Amino acid sequence: MVLLAEPTTVAQRAAAVKQAARELGFTAAGITTADAFDAPRARLARWISQGRHGEMAYLEQFAERHARFRTAFPDARSVIVVAAGRDYHKVLRARLKALARVVQGLAEGPVAVRWCVDTAPLHERSLAEAAGLGFIGKNTCLILPRGGSWVVLGVLATDLELAEDAPATHTCGACTRCLEACPTGALTAPYEMDARRCIAYLTLEHRGPLPEPLRPAVGTWLAGCDICQEVCPYNAKPAPASWPALTPAAGAGETLPLADLLACRDPQAFETRFAGTALMRPKYQGLVRNAALAAGNARAHELLPSLRARTQDPDPVIRDAAAWAVTRITAETPGD
C-alpha cells in the first residue's frame, strides 16, 4: 500500500486515509467531524415517538446506547465513513481494521480508533451524508451520486484530527419514482418512511402473523424488498463489488423455490442451509410464513397440497399464513 510521504497536515492525513481506503477496495470514503454523531438524534427520537419503528424495540434504546458510546470515546474528533458493495460484516470489519492501522500510523504518538459495522448506536447514513459520500434520498436510503444505493457502510472514529469533506450537493430533484412504486405505502412522504408498512421490515423483522390488509401488497417477496431502490435512476449504474469475498453465501440467492420452503419442517435443517446468510434474520418461522403468503399471492395452484398440509402445522403463525394462502388461491378457483 502506497501512502503520501510524511502526511503532517490535517489535509494530507485525510488524503492519505482516503487513498488507503481506495487501495483496500472501498467504493467510497469520506470524512466528517465527531459533531456529526449527534445531528440525527432528534429526528430519530421523533420517528420512534410516532411508533414508526414497529417492533424494532432495540431502536428505543438508541439514545441511551449512543450516550454510552460517546462517553466511552469522548475525545473522538474525526469520523471516517466508507462504503462497499454487496454484503458486509466480517469482510468489511477486516478491511476497516486494516484502515484503522493506517490511521494509527499517521501520527508519531498513540492514536485511538474505534471501528463499527452495524455494531454501534450510530446513524451511519447521516454520518455518510455529512462526510460527503452521498445524500439521503426520498426513499430514505443513502445514495452515492456515482454509485447509487446498493452499498453498505462502515464507520471508523478516531481522536486524530483530519480535514473534513463537504457534503454532497446532489439531490433527488423532482423525482418521486420510489414513492409511487412502494406497494404498501411505506414511504408516506418524501424522506419519510413508516417501517410498519415496509415489506423489508414485515418479512425480516416482524414476528408473528403479518397484518392481513398488507398481505396482498407484500407480493412474492420472501426476505426484504428492493423496489424503492430498483426504480431509482441513480441505481442505473450501481457501484461494482470489487471483493470476491462479498459474493452471496451458499444457500442464498435472488430466488428460492417456494415448494422447498413449504416442504421444510425441520428448523435445524433450515439453520444448516442458511447459516451465514441474511435469511437467518426472519428465522424458520418467518421464512416459512413468508413462503406461504408468497404462494398465495402468486396464485400457485400447484402448491395447494403443501399449503393445505401446513394448515395443520404445530406453529400457529405458519398455520395462519397457510390458511390465508389457500383461501386466496381457491377463491378464484370455483369448485376447487
Query: Which residues are annotated as catalytic?
Result: 118
Query: Hey, CA dihedral for 178, 184, 187, 193, is it positive or negative?
Result: negative
**Nearest Cα to Cα of residue 30 among 40, 22, 38, 41:** 22
- CB count within 10 Å of CB 4 equals 14
At 132, is the secondary structure helix, strand, or coil?
A: coil
**Rounded to whole angstroms, how far apart are CA atoms 99 and 79?**
12
Pairing, β 78-85 against β 28-33: antiparallel
Q: Strands across the sheet with 28-33, in order? A: 28-33, 78-85, 151-158, 113-116
Chain-centre distance for alpha carbon 152: 7
Residue the block writes with cell 406461504 = 292
95 Cβ partners below 8 Å, 6+ apart? 24, 25, 26, 82, 84, 154, 243
Residue tagged 459533531 (cell numbers): 35
CB 305 within 8 A of CB 312: no
Q: What is the CA angle 62-132-4, rounded to 5?
A: 115
Alpha helices in the chain (DSSP H): 10-23, 41-49, 62-72, 90-104, 124-130, 177-181, 199-204, 215-218, 227-230, 258-263, 267-274, 283-297, 304-310, 316-330
